[in-house]
Structure formats: C-alpha cells, structure tokens
Amino acid sequence: MKIFLDSANLAELREAVSWGAIDGVTTNPSLVAKEGKEFFPLLKEICETVDGPVSMETVSRDAEGMVAEGVEFSKLHPNIIVKCPLTKEGLKATRQLSQRKIRVNVTLCFSASQALLAAKAGAFFVSPFVGRLDDISQDGMALIADIKTIYTNYGFTTQILVASVRHPLHVVAAARLGADIATMPFSVLEALVKHPLTDSGLERFLKDWEKLPASAKSTKPPASLAARPAASRRP
C-alpha cells in the first residue's frame, strides 16, 4: 500500500521524504489555507519536494469552473492530480478531465454508491473519508471493504485512496483490506514509527554498549580490517 502525506506543510513533507516514507501528497483547501501562502507557488514547491502524485483540490462549485481550474493545475507539474468533489458537478468535471487525460481524485466520498459513480466517471483515485464516517458512528473501514469488493467485481481501475485517517489502526486496516493508498496527517505518520519496545530496547542496547571499555568500542574499523580486499568479504 502506498502512503501519502495529507499536508501542505513543506517542513512536514521534507521530513517525511527524508524517512523514505511517502509516495505522494494530498491537500485540500483547509490544509492550503492553514499555510497562509500563495497557492500556485506553494503547489509548485510541494511538487518539487515530493516525487509522486500531488492532489490539489478545485474550489469551483460548477463543472465548468472545476475543469478550468483542473486544466491550469495540470499544466504546473506532471505529478498533479486534480481533486473534484463527489457531487453531480464533480462527476461531470471528472468525466471531462479524464477524457482529456488529466487524472482526477474524486474526494469527499462517503458511500459505496458514490464510489461506483466515481469509477464510472473515470476517476484515477477515489477518496473515501473513513475518520469522518467514524465520527458520526458509521463504520469507515466497512466502506473501504465495500468499495474494494465492487471495484474487484467489475475490474474498475480507480485506485482506493483511504482518506481522513486518524490513527495507525486505520492504516493497518486499510492495508489488510487491500486499499491502494492511505493518506494521513504527519502526526499519524509519526505514530506509525513509534513503539515503546523499540525505544526501551534501544535504551538497553546503548546502555550495555557503554559497559565496553573505551578502548574496545571504536565503531571505525582498525586499518588491518578496513583494508581487506573485496573478495575476502562475506556476500
């Protein structure tokens, strides 16, 4: 499963890239507004920071406006994916943009019937929001299972991008169900790394290492070993 960062914050994106952890980016108008920066230069910088799909959301309410925005977005960088909402106008825009070979992420998906229509309209990604469903006592991950079954039944190629991810269990459940991508805030990405046994295990190893006499614990090989020819090394 691919991991995307759901963020427009360049510092977070750079840090996640340095971990080798992310395959792409999703943003939305709320995340962009949080940065308080000019939209297009920010968009370009995000594309130059992460080598993978970058979803940017249209803000028009009608299909004509979404298509016009989408066309402009797509000219900026080959990795741009245009986000359109799962409304009738959004579906119209998805159809038109995908006919022009512009990839669309259909967002704000909350039901399997919506996901079916997104795939039929030609969506490249569909974004079901699991956390927001959980928030209103509906089972977000059950929606992912339904979409996966429907897309598999009919051979739709639209990729399932699990969105509104709130914690590591969402990520693991998405991977178990065979989702294509999970997008998450930086805090969730950090939580994926953390395990208390890793921290305490490392503490113990390093404490034990301190018990070695100073003369024995150089981590640089002595000249005699460093100079060994390649053939005498183990494969």
How many Cα atoms are found within 13 Å in the side-chain-facing hemisphere of 71? Answer: 10
92 binds ligand E4P (CB under 6 A): no
Residue among 28, 94, 96, 114 that touches ligand E4P (CB under 6 A): 28
> Which one from 34, 44, 75, 83 is the annotated catalytic residue?
83
Shortest Cβ 228–ligand E4P spacing (Å): 52
Q: Classify burial at 76, counting beta carbons within 10 Å of its beta carbon; exposed 0-12, middle 13-18, buried 19 or more.
A: middle
Least distance from ligand E4P to the Cβ atom of residue 66, Å: 16
Lay out the site mask for ligand E4P across 145-184 (x = CB under 6 A, - = otherwise). Answer: ------------------xx------------------x-
d(CA 1, CA 161): 10
In this structure, are residues 25 and 50 in contact, taking their beta carbons and an 8 Å threshold? yes
Measured distance CA(144)–CA(26) in Å, rounded:
18
Nearest distance in Å: CB 117, ligand E4P: 18
Cβ atoms of 82 and 103 closer than 8 Å: yes
Catalytic site includes residue 83: yes
Q: CB nearer to ligand E4P: give 94 or 127.
A: 127
CB of 31 to ligand E4P, least distance (A): 6
Residue-by-residue DSSP string for 164-193: S--SHHHHHHHHHHT-SEEEE-HHHHHHHH
Can you give the binding site for ligand E4P, defined by CB under 6 A?
A: 6, 26, 28, 107, 127, 129, 131-132, 163-164, 183
